[in-house]
Structure 1
C-alpha cells in the first residue's frame, strides 16, 4: 500500500462562513452570551486565503457562506468601506468567490443594491450559470465546476422582512407569516417554543418560485446523473443546527432534496457553533460551518474540500473538524423507496 500513488481529487474548493468584519472593538452576540471578534475576523480571512494560495492543489473556487460584514457597519455609515476591505482581501485569493447572502448583507444593503453589487456572483463569474428567473429578484443560481458535479446557491431571504421595502407585498406577506408564530414586539426576539424559534426577523425562507426553480435544477441533474451540492446561509435540517437558525420553511426545501437522487451535500452558515447531520432519507450530508466572527484571534475557521467520484474530503482548520463525506451508492433506490418525509 505504501507504493500506491495517492489519488488526486477531481477538484477542490474552499469554504468560509460568517466573517462579519467591522472596524470595531470586540462585542457580543444578540443575547450578550458570546464574544464577537470584529476586527480580527479579517486576519482569520487572511489566514484562509494564505492557506489556499499556498496549497499544492489550488481550489477551483471559494464559497463564502454569507454575513461577510457585520450589521454594525450600517450604524457607523461604514458598510461600503467594510465591504471594500473584505473584498480586497478576497481579490488576493487563488480563485473566484461565490458569495451567499445572509442576514447581515441585508442589514447593510437593500436587495436591489445587492443585486447590482459585487456580492452578486452571477455578474462577476466567468462560469456559465443557470440563474433563477430574473424578474423575480431572487439571488439563486447553479454552476458546474467539472462535468458530473453541480453546485446550487440558494437565496434564504427570498421570503423575509430583511432587504424588502415595507410597502412591498413581499414584506407584508412575510410580516403576516412571522406574526402567526412570533407575537413579540421585537421580532428578533424568538418565541422559545422548540421549532417555533426559527420565526425571527434574522431568518427567512424560500418562495414557491424559488422552490419550483430549485426542483427543476435537481430534476435535470437527476437525468444527467450528476452529484449536486446545495449552498445556503440558512440550514434546513433540524439536526444540523439549533432551531433558532433554521429557515422558516426548511421542511419544504428538505422534501425537495429528499425527492431527488442527485443531492449529496447541503452546506450552510448562520449558526456560529456549526453542526452536522447525515439525513437517513437519501444520505445527504448537512454541514453547517463554524463562524469566523466568534473564533478567537489565535484560532481559525475555514475548510478546504477535495472532491472525488465517491466522496468529499473536508480538511478543516481551527474550529472546523475534518470529515469524510461519502456519497450514497444507489440513491435512486433510496428515493424511490421513500414513503414519508418525517424528519430523521
Structure 2
C-alpha cells in the first residue's frame, strides 16, 4: 500500500512539474535592466559607477543562459560622459537577441544631437512600440520635454515651461532638472495607439525611464496627465519604470506601477529581472536588489 501511495505522489508531482514547465514555456519572457549608469569615475555615496560594467555582464550572461528572446533597458546607460557609451554598448551587444531601450536623463549629458543618441542606442525612433504575441509594448520617452534634452528655442520649450508652472501651482515636488515629460505630440500618439490596441484586443505594458507615480519628486513632469490618459484604457495592464534607484510599487487609478531598482547602487549587489507574461498574471523574478513581484491581470 505504501509503494502505491509513493507512486501516486510521484505521478502527481511529475504532472505538476510538466504543467508548470508548459506554462513557463508558453509565457512571454524577457529581461529587464535599468540605471546601469556606468562611468569611468570613482564611486560617490552608494553609487559604484565602474562596478556597473561587471554587473551588466553578469545579467547579460544570465539572460543568454535563459534563452530570453529580448530584453528591455529603461535608461541611464551612462552617468555623465557620452564617451562611456561605447563601453556599455559593447557589453549590451553580448546579449544574443534584441535589446529595446528608452533613454534616461543622464544619457543626454553633453549630447547636442538627440537623434544621434537614439541611433547609437539602436532605437527606431524617439518613442516607439512593438508587439510580442498579443502584448503591445510601449516605450515612452519621458525625456522628450526636459531642460537637458536640447529643447531651447523649439516649441517643446513652451510645453516645458507650462509643465513646470503647473507643478509649482499645485505645490508639486517633481519640477527638478533631472525630470522630464512627454510632449503633446507624444501624448496624442500614445492615445491613438492605446485606442487601436483596445480595439484589437491587445494587452499593453507601458515602459518609461521616469516613473508616473510611487516616487515623489522623481516622477515625469506631466505624470498626472499621462496616468489619467492611460488609466482610461482597460488594455493597459502595468507601467514599469526606472530612475528611482531604491525601487517602489503602487497602484494608481487601478494600474499597477513598478519602479525597478537601479543597477548602479551598492558596491557588489546586482539588480536585474526576468519578466514572465502569463494569461492571468505578470511575474517579475528579481535578482540581487530587484524585487520579485506578481501582478494579477484584471
| TM norm structure 2 | 0.88
Offset of residue 316 of structure 1: 0.3
Q: Distance in 2 between matches of 1:176 and 1:149?
A: 34
**C-alpha distance in structure 1 between counterparts of 2:118 and 2:262, whole Å:** 26
Unaligned runs of 5+ in 2: 1-11
The yes-or-no answer on 1:266 pairing with 2:283 is no
Q: Over aligned residue pairs, what C-alpha RMSD do you find? A: 2.0
Q: Are residue 204 (structure 1) and residue 210 (structure 2) matched?
A: no
Alignment correspondent of 1:76: none
* Aligned-residue offset at 1:297: 3.0
Matched, 1:312 2:274: no
1:61 aligns with 2:70: yes
Q: Which has the larger radius of gyration?
A: 2
| C-alpha deviation, 1:113, in angstroms | 4.1
Report how many aligned residue pairs link the two structures: 281
Is 2:177 aligned against 1:153? Answer: no
Aligned residue number for residue 3 of structure 2? none
Q: How does 1:5-16 map to 2 (within 5 A)?
A: 5=18, 6=20, 7-8=23-24, 9-16=26-33
- Counterpart CA distance in 2 for 1:272 and 1:249 is 20
2:251 to 278, 290, 310: 278
**1:173 Cα deviation from its structure 2 partner:** 4.5
- Work out the CA distance in 2 between the residues paired with 1:257 and 1:176: 21
Q: Which residue of structure 1 lines up, in the alignment, with residue 35 of structure 2?
A: 18
| Residues 76-128 of structure 1 deviation map (CA, whole Å, 9 limit, x = unaligned) | xxx23x11111100111132111111111111423534455221421xxxxxx
Q: Normalising by structure 1, what TM-score?
A: 0.77
Q: Distance in 2 between matches of 1:176 and 1:215?
A: 20
**Contact (CA 8 Å) 2:111, 2:117: kept in 1 or not?**
no
Secondary structure in 2 matching 1:197: coil
Please give the alpha-carbon distance, in whole angstroms, between the structure 2 residues aligned to 1:235 and 1:180.
Answer: 18
CA distance in 2, matches of 1:271, 1:86: 20
1:105 pairs with one of 107, 124, 132: 107
Say if 1:197 and 1:49 are closer, same or farther in 2 by CA, change over 3 A: same
Which residue of the partner structure matches residue 228 of structure 1? 204
Closer, same or farther: CA 116–320 of 1 in aligned 2, 3 Å: closer
Report the CA distance between 1:44 and its aligned residue.
0.9
Q: Are the aligned partners of 1:274 and 1:290 in contact in 2 as well (CA < 8 Å)?
A: yes
Which ranges in structure 1 are unaligned for 5 or more consecutive residues? 29-34, 74-78, 123-130, 132-138, 183-192, 329-344
Partner of 2:293: 323
1:21-60 alignment to 2 at 5 Å? Answer: 21-28=38-45, 35-55=46-66, 58-60=67-69
Q: Do residues 88 (structure 1) and 90 (structure 2) align? A: yes
